[in-house]
Amino acid sequence: MNVLVVNAGSSSLKYQLIETDSGLVSAKGVCERIGGDGSSITHKQLIKDIKVTKEAPMKDHSDAMKLVVDALTDKEIGCIADMNEIQAIGHRVVHGGAYFSKSILLDDEVLSKLELCKSFAPLHTTAHLMGIKGCLATMPGKPQVLVFDTAFHQTMAPEAYVYALPYEYYEKYGIRRYGAHGTSHRYVSAEMAKLLGKPVEDTKIVTCHIGNGSSISAVKGGKVMDTSMGFTPLAGVEMGTRCGDIDPAIVPYLMEKEGFTPAQMDDLMNKKSGFLGVSGFSSDSRDLEDAIADGPSNPKYERANLAVNILKHNIKKYIGSYAAIMNGLDAVVFTAGIGENNPHLRELVCQDMEFLGIEFDKAANDAAPHVSENTKISTDASKVAVYVLPTNEELVIAQDTAAIVAAL
């Protein structure tokens, strides 16, 4: 089945056309600056290896979707003859609250529940709704499926998702752990379970999705027991610009000392912290690694090194604590931008973990700095398997969509 995977952001819309039986991506692209000046579409036709970028006015996501369909059906840069060759649309949705524990076919009831998710992720949900409306306007009657980043984490027990705040705020506002990157954790944990060669029910896996945004999950028997992101994607390990877990008392303390408003404090923790805040110069792990490679002669070295070591320390703590709550560990998986492309961080994390059964294979890790296929970085003797598995959230979205639509 040909599924158009749509990932709508507030001013952007990414898409991929995926044939779900083969997993083949025939085209992908992005519309940028939707609703602003200088909006453009970049379209890649992967079969003929063509890439075009063109400026085109897009006042909203419906305009963007029209351009996407035009590009997909274009005689020269397209890959399908007409829209009928797209059987369904699959949307990436960032937050499904506690309303959605699995992917679902869009209907009026689903749409109104999604409206309620605005209270958790206002910017993202508004963008998703615009993307959905854009698809309804451009491809009326085409089945649309929503795939939620939070859904995979809905298997957590209350002890993992309820915060030790007065219970009334959980009931009143839905304040609880929801997690994020669920589609990625689901994909790589399932791939890892296959590699372990034992029934999924018997597997204990820690998945480390480490990118600009990062989260770690404990997946036991194919179900999430805990995950590092929380009520929002600010929780957990240090990230590109997010602070991750901090003592919550720091928030009122800093607000009082610096006279920050809640919005300023939120901005500081989300956009000025993490790698950027600690290093003082970049949120991108490549820049930090360059400074570290230069050594102490580079004035940026010390804090770049500190920023990376904080992340290492955080990840180790999560792996250890998740092994404890799962009562064991079969495998650790690294994925996403940093997980797949930063051998230095992988080495730092996996060193000195023999007590847990991890025997790191440095040579294998060094030989695969950028991983595009499943790669083992633990020794054959290691009790715990450590793998780098490239994530593929779009494929999961396309496959879920195809399965739901095929059953109609």
Interacting residue with ligand ADP among 215, 227, 273, 285 (CB under 6 A)? 285
Q: Which residues contact 240 (CB under 8 A, 6 or more apart)?
A: 211, 212, 213, 274, 275, 276, 283, 284, 285
Q: Which range, of 11-19, 152-160, 253-261, 283-291, touches ligand ADP by CB under 6 A?
A: 283-291
Residue 189 within binding range of ligand ADP, rule CB under 6 A: no
Q: Which range, of 4-12, 195-203, 254-262, 333-341, touches ligand ADP by CB under 6 A?
A: 333-341
Interacting residue with ligand ADP among 179, 337, 343, 390 (CB under 6 A)? 337
Interacting residue with ligand ADP among 90, 213, 230, 343 (CB under 6 A)? 213
Residue 240 within binding range of ligand ADP, rule CB under 6 A: yes
Residue from 149, 226, 330, 400 carrying the catalytic annotation? 149
Ramachandran area for residue 39 (φ above 0: left; ψ -120 to 50: alpha; else beta): beta
Residue 274 within binding range of ligand ADP, rule CB under 6 A: no
Q: How many angstroms separate the CA atoms of 113 and 209, rounded?
A: 28
CB of 31 to ligand ADP, least distance (A): 18
Residue 338 within binding range of ligand ADP, rule CB under 6 A: yes
Contact pattern from residue 287 through residue 326 relative to ligand ADP, giving x for each residue in contact according to CB under 6 A and a dash for the rest: ----------------------------------------
Looking at the Cβ atoms of 189 and 285, the one nearer to ligand ADP is 285
Please say if 267 is a catalytic residue. no
Interacting residue with ligand ADP among 336, 350, 368, 404 (CB under 6 A)? 336
Residue 244 within binding range of ligand ADP, rule CB under 6 A: no
CB of 403 to ligand ADP, least distance (A): 25
Q: How many angstroms separate the CA atoms of 261 and 47, rounded?
A: 51
Q: 216-223 — which CB contacts under 8 Å span 24+ positions?
A: 216/315, 216/318, 216/319, 216/322, 217/153, 217/179, 217/185, 217/189, 217/322, 218/322, 218/325, 218/326, 219/185, 219/189, 220/326, 222/189, 222/190, 222/193, 223/155
Residue 236 within binding range of ligand ADP, rule CB under 6 A: no
> What DSSP designation does 324 have?
H
Q: How many angstroms separate the CA atoms of 344 and 120, rounded?
A: 35
Q: How many angstroms separate the CA atoms of 124 and 113, rounded?
A: 15
Residues 369-398 within binding reach of ligand ADP (CB under 6 A) = 370
Q: Which residues contact 333 (CB under 8 A, 6 or more apart)?
A: 188, 189, 191, 192, 205, 206, 207, 208, 339, 386, 387, 388, 389
Provide the annotated active-site residues: 149
List of residues contacting ligand ADP (CB under 6 A): 211-213, 240, 284-286, 336-338, 341-342, 370
